[in-house]
Structure 1
Amino acid sequence: MPDIIQLLPDSIANQIAAGEVIQRPASVIKELLENAVDAGATQIKLIIKDAGKTSIQVIDDGKGMSETDARMAFERHATSKIKSANDLFCIKTMGFRGEALASIAAIAHVELTTRQAHEDTATKIQMEGSMLTKQEKVQAMPGTNITVKNLFYNVPARRKFLKSDPVELKHIMDEFHRVSLANTDIFFTLHHNGNEVYHLPKSNLKQRILGVMGKQMNEKLIPINQETEAAAFSGFIGKPDTAKKTQGEQFIFVNKRFIKSNYLNHAIRAAYEDLLPKDMYTPYFLFLEIDPATIDINVHPTKTEIKFEDERLIYNYLRVSLKHSLGQYSLGPMLDFNTDQNFFSNFKGAANIQQDQAINTGEKFKQQPNSPSYRPDKTSVKNWEDIYFGMENTVLKGDDHHENQVKTLENEAYALSGDEDKDLKNFVSVEPYQLHKTYIIYQVKTGMMIIDQQAAHERILYEQYLEILKNGEYLTQKELFPRTVELDPSKSDVLKSILDKVKRLGFDIEEFGHHSFIVHGTPSGLDVNISLDEIIDKLISQYIGNLEFELGIEDNLARSMAISAGIKRGYSMEKQEMKAVIDLLFGCQLPQKSPSGKKCYIIIEHDELGKRFNQ
């Protein structure tokens, strides 16, 4: 039998290796930006076309490379960052494996121009599918200019899996945010399809955060600064009242390297204790400086996961640091500062923290007692009615489609729910009851119905908004004085692209400056207790998050608006409000599920209740 095992050609081996390192255009940008940072650049310019699918260019003023090094940089496992295995435990550079350029060159057309300051000429190299196609001397400024075109041109299966331009651009923005936030001493610019998206001069961390995330972040941040001989935490965390449903704007850096860590995220939430509901998140921008010998960064292809020598110690250190800062701003629970100060002063000996200390990952937001005597004021009831019934005055194009669409509760429940829920058509005449300001309890013939008020309201609003986007326009309530809203550059670009659709939802809004918008009116019935900035920010954040699902624009926007404007758990409801939810929910085309796929209700039948009581 002939031998069948053989060495793969370098071109194929590089394509296989590229699959680990390069998944999408954002992966290329991450590697090229980090190379520019490692080269000591003070200015980095990123230019992309068609969300990086057509072209990616990074220009820096770093130290550049010699002619020999420029060619060697495209070889596998060729690096200037380490020389021995021991160097892995004292790494302070972003890259060290020598895989990035070889992987990129294996699946794209690459052109590199580089020059060292003491050289008179630059070296220009062109690569295609791991093959050198051209090398020559040219005139150029000191530094490096690298262009990557036609990504995955020779791996059509991989190119087919790329998402739409907005989705890929979102991933690019994520990588750009991480590198630019970690390196405030570098001047960054980003251009997409000829438009300048970011212009970030050298600055301090606070200014860089505002430049990346928008000026609206200015009043939301609390500074963090704790230092010992072993480690130091610095940066900013968000005030509890800035919490949102989405987990964006959360960054942890270890020695300026962005990392992902559920363990440290839990430490951050633990520091807030009862200040945050379970499903709400604050922004944070945290930097840990620690001895490289106490961490291992060579555990993941993208280097976003690391191992700590003493993870429990870092957990407690982070939690206490944040509690101190929250306490100083009178935002956290009462702290025993004498006890906490002992923690910092004895940091080196803190490894003696009891190892059996449990971490309660199931900590819940403590609701306030539901007072039976509480009633919303007339204004809140009016707002509620506006949300549900304001569409009676909506201008719809066409016939009586909308009127015919809303069927009676009994008929719709019977038609949609099938044999399992046929008894829903015979509701018992009993008043609904609210449980824990979260669920609506209602008696039906077959047993007991429990409705999730948030999921149900989102389903109702979703179908109403979708109908509006397809067939009409929502009523606008004019503002007494126009208001301005500022978004971070990436969100403002998304809003600009869907502005016409947003107007159909009832927003009278137009561009006003580089990343600002002026609002003359809002959808009728919108909750007046939520700030306009928060509503629009939530709307766009939710819309961006939904891009991964490749929904249609109208479907995505209807979902995003419903989730942003819907009532939340913890809202105390009047009887008439609960009845409105029940009636309108079962007038929906699909009452069983919320737009995000959560159950809107369940039914516990008599037989099941009887079993619970051993009947």
Structure 2
Amino acid sequence: GRESRACIFISVNGRPIRPDRHLSAILSEAYQTLLPHDRYPIIALHIEAPAWAVDVAGQPGKTRVRFRDPALVGRQVGIALHAALLDAAGPRWQRRGPSTPATGAAARRDAWSFERPESEQATPAPADDEPQARAAGAGALNLTLLRPIGQLHQRYIMAESYTGLVLIDQQAADARIRYEQIRAQLLAGGVPGVALGMARDVVVPPAAHALLLAHAEPLSHWGFSFEDCGQSLRVLATPRLRLDRLGATLLDVADHLSQRALRAPEEIQEALVTTLAAASAIGEEPLRPEQMRALLDQLARCKQPWTCPRGRPVVRVERIQRIEALFDHL
């Protein structure tokens, strides 16, 4: 990614334009799990639109255009970007058979609960036998062929490849793995809850307390089960997460719920999945060789293993030529 929007190139019917606020938001949303929040993608986007869809009052030399239906253009651009990014990332989920899109309140309810009619149940497309790197800097790196050789500061897995030394951020890697697992669970019907051996009472601010209780039923699809205990919530079950992050996770969930009137259901979903993935990821801790191997194998099965859900890089490669240069072996 880049530090500015200088590498975003957009044209409409052959005319170069500057993206307006609406198009900028569409681009940011498409790349939200691929780049850090302060980075911008390199994009060449060409929009072809019939003459009636574009404001013909604009002067040929101007870099701003107006669309008759900007929402429609935004949806089509978003669909095209998501399709292109999924193609670049490899295998994707495919629906069985035709389906009729839900509309209005039904669409919002289905999007929130992730309950799908039988005709829309998703099945995974065949996966590549050998997932290959598709990110800048990773080259043709095959994660399944890496040989773990140790850890750095109990945070990074060091692995050997034929190209050199590979560093894997174990927390970012596990967050990506959990992110894709949670999305698959939601498509399959819901995130399984893990019953706590001993219920935990969690105190949250009154507004968050009320929001969580009001959404107890839909949150059950995400693995949560809790009841009101006056000044606290008694948590009976959770999705898989680190219990030392339980309070912070509930606060984050309540914060996302508080924005339901301002954000699309899909944005709330994405925020919740990202929150749960981060809450369940391993932290800075020692890993045995077999644990490192298992983590790399799981990462290799991800559709997009090169960044965490918040866009941070997962894998960095230090090529052997650069290492040899450090020791004057060239």
TM-score range, shorter chain: 0.5 to 0.7
User: 1:70-94 deviations in whole A, cap 9, x for unaligned?
Assistant: xxxxxxxxxxxxxxxxxxxxxxxxx
2:314 to 600, 604, 609: 600
Distance 1:548 1:500 in 2: 21
Aligned counterpart, 1:611: 325
- Structure 2 gaps of 5+ residues are 1-20, 26-115
Contact 2:150 2:157 in 1 (8 A): yes
**Secondary structure of the corresponding residue to residue 484 of structure 1:** strand
Match of 2:123 among 401, 405, 408: 401
Equivalents in 1 of 2:260, 2:300: separation in Å? Answer: 26
Cα offset for 1:573? 1.3
Distance 1:606 1:446 in 2: 6
2:267 is the counterpart of 1:552: yes
Question: Structure 1's 405 and 542: CA in aligned 2 closer, same or farther, altered over 3 A?
Answer: farther
Partner of 1:590: 304
Q: Percent identity?
A: 22
* Among 513, 516, 521, the residue aligned to 2:237: 521
Alignment counterpart, residue 151 of structure 2, candidates 407, 430, 434: 434
Query: In the TM superposition, what whole-angstrom CA distance separates every residue of 1:493-517 from its partner, at most 9, and x where no partner exists?
Result: 443465444322322224454x643
Structure 1 pair 531–458 and aligned structure 2 pair: CA distance change class (3 A): closer
Tell me, yes or no, if the aligned pair for 1:439 and 1:452 is still in contact at 8 Å.
Answer: yes
Residue 585 of structure 1 deviates from its aligned partner by 1.4
CA RMSD of aligned residues (A): 3.9
Q: How do residues 463-478 of structure 1 correspond to structure 2 at under 5 angstroms?
A: 463-478=180-195
Q: Deviations over 1:165-201 (max 9, x none)?
A: xxxxxxxxxxxxxxxxxxxxxxxxxxxxxxxxxxxxx
Q: 1:557 to 1:605 in 2, by over 3 A?
A: same
* Residues in 1 aligned to 2:251 and 2:191: alpha-carbon distance in whole angstroms: 20
Contact 1:462 1:559 (8 Å CA) reproduced: yes
Check the 8 A contact 2:148/2:158 in 1, yes or no.
Answer: no
Kindly report which structure 2 residues correspond to 1:251-266, keeping only aligned pairs within 5 A, or say none: none
- Alpha-carbon distance in structure 2 between the residues aligned to 1:562 and 1:543: 17
Cα deviation code 1:432-472 (max 9, x no counterpart): 31111110011112111100111111111111112222332
Amino acid at match of 2:285: Y
Structure 1, unmatched stretches of 5+, are 1-157, 164-395
| Cα distance in structure 2, aligned partners of 1:400 and 1:470 | 7
Take 1:609 and 1:580, find their aligned partners in 2: how far apart are those partners?
27
The SS at the match of 2:223 is coil
**Is the 1:451–1:602 contact (alpha carbons within 8 Å) kept by the matching residues of 2?**
yes
Residue from 278, 293, 304 that aligns with 1:563: 278
Q: Which residue of 1 aligns with 2:160?
A: 443
User: 1:25-40 alignment to 2 at 5 Å?
Assistant: none
The one-letter code matched in structure 2 to 1:401 is T
Partner of 1:505, secondary structure, is: coil
Aligned mate of 1:487, from 199, 204, 212: 204
Is 2:172–2:307's contact at 8 Å kept on the other side of the alignment? yes
The answer to whether the 8 A contact 1:454-1:567 is kept is yes
Q: Per-residue CA shift, 1:590-611, capped at 9, x if unaligned?
A: 1111111111111111222223
Q: CA deviation at 1:518?
A: 2.8
SS at 1:421 equivalent: coil
Tell me the amino acid that sits aligned with residue 607 of structure 1: Q
> 1:420 deviation in Å?
5.4
CA gap 1:419/1:480 in 2 versus in 1, 3 angstroms: closer
C-alpha distance in 2 between matches for 1:545 and 1:602: 35
- The 3-state SS of whatever aligns with 2:183 is helix
Report the CA distance between 1:576 and its aligned residue.
Answer: 1.9
3-state DSSP class of the match of 2:195? strand
Q: Which has the higher contact order (CA 8 A, sep 6+)?
A: 2
Is contact 2:256–2:268 with CA below 8 Å preserved after alignment? no
The CA distance in 2 between the partners of 1:543 and 1:439, in whole Å, is 34
Q: Deviations over 1:363-395 (max 9, x none)?
A: xxxxxxxxxxxxxxxxxxxxxxxxxxxxxxxxx
Q: Secondary structure at the match of 1:432?
A: strand
Whether the 8 Å CA contact 1:559–1:595 is kept in 2: the answer is yes
User: How big is each residue's C-alpha offset from its partner over 1:44-94, in whole Å with a ceiling of 9 and x where there is no partner?
Assistant: xxxxxxxxxxxxxxxxxxxxxxxxxxxxxxxxxxxxxxxxxxxxxxxxxxx
Task: Call closer, same or farther: CA 1:423–1:594 in 2, change over 3 Å.
Answer: closer
CA contact (8 A) 2:143 2:300 kept: no
Match of 2:15 in 1: none
Alpha carbons of structure 1 residues 417 and 598: separation in structure 2 relative to 1, 3 Å:
closer
| Letter of the structure 2 residue corresponding to residue 424 of structure 1 | N
Contact 2:138 2:315 in 1 (8 A): no
1:391-432 CA distance string (max 9 Å, x none): xxxxx9887835x56655xx2225x3489521426725x343
Q: 1:601 to 1:486 in 2, by over 3 A?
A: same
Which residue type is aligned with residue 169 of structure 2? D
Please tell me whether the aligned partners of residues 175 and 277 of structure 2 are also in contact (alpha carbons under 8 angstroms): yes
Alignment of 1:75-474 (within 5 A): 401-402=123-124, 408=129, 411-414=130-133, 416-417=134-135, 421-424=139-142, 427-428=145-146, 430-474=147-191
SS at match of 2:301: coil
CA 1:447/1:582 → structure 2, altered by over 3 Å: closer, same or farther? same
The structural deviation recorded for 1:491 is 2.3
Letter aligned with residue 586 of structure 1: A
Quick one: structure 1 residues 586 and 425, their matched pair in 2 at CA, closer, same or farther if it must change by over 3 Å?
closer
Structure 1 448/579 Cα, relative in aligned 2: closer, same or farther at 3 Å?
A: same
Hey, what's the Cα distance between the residues in 2 that align with 1:531 and 1:499? 19
Q: Say if 2:295 is the partner of 1:581.
A: yes
Shift of 1:476: 2.6
Q: Which has the larger radius of gyration?
A: 1
Question: Does structure 2 conserve the Cα–Cα contact (< 8 Å) formed by 1:468 and 1:504?
Answer: no
Where does residue 225 of structure 2 map in the other structure? 508
Q: Report the number of matched residues.
A: 215
- Are 1:435 and 1:441, in contact at CA under 8 Å, matched by a contact in 2? yes
1:320-347 superposed Cα distances (whole Å, 9 cap, x missing partner): xxxxxxxxxxxxxxxxxxxxxxxxxxxx
The 1:478–1:448 alpha-carbon spacing in structure 2 relative to 1, beyond 3 Å, is same
Answer whether contact 1:427 1:445 (CA < 8 A) is retained. Answer: no
